[in-house]
Amino acid sequence: MPESVIVLENLAKSFGHTHAVDGVTMTIPAGEIFGFLGANGAGKTTTMRMLCGLTKPTAGHGSVLGHDIWKERNAIRPKFGYVAQKFSLYPDLTVLENLRFFGSAYQVSGQRLNDRIETLLDQLDLRAKSKELAGSLSGGMKQMLALSCALVHEPALLFLDEPTSGLDPVHRQQIWDLLYDLSSQGTTIFVTTHYMDEAERCTEVGFLHRGRLLAKESPLRLKQRFKGQLLEMQIEPPMEGLVRLRNVPGILGVALRSGRVRIYSAESERLVAEWQKAWPFEGLTWLGHSWAVPDMEDVFKAYSQGYSEILETTAS
């Protein structure tokens, strides 16, 4: 297996005048859990579809497992598993029939297929439901089945497009446990997500904004990108405080966290000093303030809103 499973060079995809993916360059080493972040419409799904050979890139190059993502897409297909954003199995087939079909579609047959199905039924908690129609499963179970169908041929690489969206915390945990197991066995995982707690669990995170890759680092390094800490104001009433502080010059954005107003600004210290001299907001009571360590939620907000003033510029 090559050192880098995915190599992208200026990969781009345009639909007419819209640049869905605008020159993405990155490498993803083997065995990594790569979290792909970005707002809706940032180009995450389009990038993944290009990597899977479902869409032809309009510019740039990409290779997956050493093969060109478009010209050699037929050679890549047997080697990866793909779980699409929405449930994409056959609801009128049973759990077992779905597994058997995808197994045979991936040329897994005979005893090997039986063994694989047995393993997956246990591993993903599907044994009790094996004879039920896929359409009758709960959302979490459907996602478990989708994962097992993508894993039936033991792929070296797994693409997951928002695999946990809409799932309860128990199933999300179950899926992440499974991803860790797979990763420890050497499977490379490429996952898009909207959940920042999930982004924390990835070995590396790529941040896509309007088709451009703004950062690609470990969650820890990404959080360290903030210049200093974030101001948190305890204001009464908090909602009104949120709305009024949002429009103060020098404040890039605000967010409500545990009843406190978190402020994104390069001039936080100056503002606090000014407010201590004279509190300009009539009707709002300033109860206190503190300084918070940025988390992935802040990273997401800062990158997706373009708060470049409070972020260090990309070093690498």
Partner 1 sequence: MNFAATLRSTASVAKKEFLHILRDWRVLVLILSLPPAFTLLLGHAFENTASTDTPVVLRDSDQSEQSRALIDKLKADKTFAWREIAPETPGTINLLKAGVMMKVVIPPKWGESLHNGDPQPLQLTLDGIDTTTAPQLSGEVQQVLGQFQLDSRQAMIDNLPDEVFEMGKKIPEATRKEFVSAMSPWTVQSKILYNPNLKFIDFVMPGIVGLILQLLTVTLTACTIARERESGTLAQLLVSPLSRNQIVAGKVFPHLIVSILLIAATLATGHFHFHVEYRSPMLTGLLCLLFLLCSLGTGLLISAFCQTQTQAIQFAVFYLFPVFPLSGAFASLDQLPPGIRMLSQAFPLTHFCHAFRMVSMGQLGVSFVAGDLVFLAIGAVVTCFGAALLLRRIQD
Q: Which residue stretch of 46-54, 176-184, 238-246, 292-300 sits at the interface with partner 1 (rule: CB under 8 A)?
A: 46-54
Strand pairing category for 80-83 and 33-37: unpaired
Contact in structure between 242 and 248 (CB atoms under 8 Å):
no
Q: How far is the CB of 26 from partner 1 (least distance, A)?
A: 21
235 binds partner 1 (CB under 8 A): no
- C-beta of 90 vs 281, nearer to partner 1: 90
The smaller minimum CB distance to partner 1, of residues 53 and 219, is found at 53
52 contacts partner 1 (rule: CB under 8 A): yes
Among 40, 74, 111, 184, binds partner 1 (CB under 8 A): 74
Cα separation values, 225 from 42, 128, 169, 263, 315, Å: 21, 47, 29, 16, 10
Residues from 170 through 229 that contact partner 1 (CB under 8 A): none
Distance spanning both ends of the chain, measured CA to CA: 26
Q: Choose, by CB under 8 A, the member of 59, 67, 87, 132 that binds partner 1.
A: 87
Residue found under tokens 């969650």: 219
- Please state the closest distance from residue 133 (CB atom) to partner 1, in A: 8
Residue from 4, 33, 34, 82 that binds partner 1 (CB under 8 A)?
82
Instruction: Let me know how long the chain is.
Output: 316
72: contact with partner 1 by CB under 8 A: no
Q: Is the peptide bond before 237 cis (omega within 30 degrees of 0)?
A: yes
84 interacts with partner 1 by CB under 8 A: yes
Total number of residues that touch partner 1 (CB under 8 A): 31
> Which two tokens mark 26?
């990155």
Show the CA angle centred on residue 190, arms to residues 91 and 10, nearest 5°. 120
Nearer to partner 1, 161 or 217 (CB): 161
Q: Is 91 in the site for partner 1 (CB under 8 A)?
A: yes
| Closest approach of partner 1 to the CB of residue 291, in Å | 46
Whose Cβ is closer to partner 1: residue 81's or residue 211's?
81
> Which segment (61-69, 74-82, 238-246, 289-297) binds partner 1 by CB under 8 A?
74-82
Q: Read off φ and ψ for residue 283, nearest 5 degrees.
A: 95, -15
Instruction: Tell me if 93 contacts partner 1 by CB under 8 A.
Output: yes
The Cα–Cα gap between 226 and 307 comes to 10
Name residues whose C-beta falls within 8 Å of residue 231's C-beta, 6 or more positions apart in sequence: 262, 263, 265, 268, 271, 272, 289, 291, 292
Asked if 298 and 310 touch (Cβ cutoff 8 Å), the reply is no
Q: At what angle do helices 110-123 and 139-151 cross, to 10 degrees?
A: 150
**Residue whose CB is less far from partner 1, 2 or 78:** 78
Q: Quick one: residue 168, left, alpha or beta (phi over 0 = left, psi -120 to 50 = alpha)?
A: beta
Please list every residue from 94 through 113 that binds partner 1, using CB under 8 A. 97, 101-102, 104-107, 109
Q: Is 92 in the site for partner 1 (CB under 8 A)?
A: yes
Kindly list the residues in this chain that would bind partner 1 in the complex (CB under 8 A): 49, 52-56, 74, 77-78, 80, 82, 84-93, 97, 101-102, 104-107, 109, 133, 149
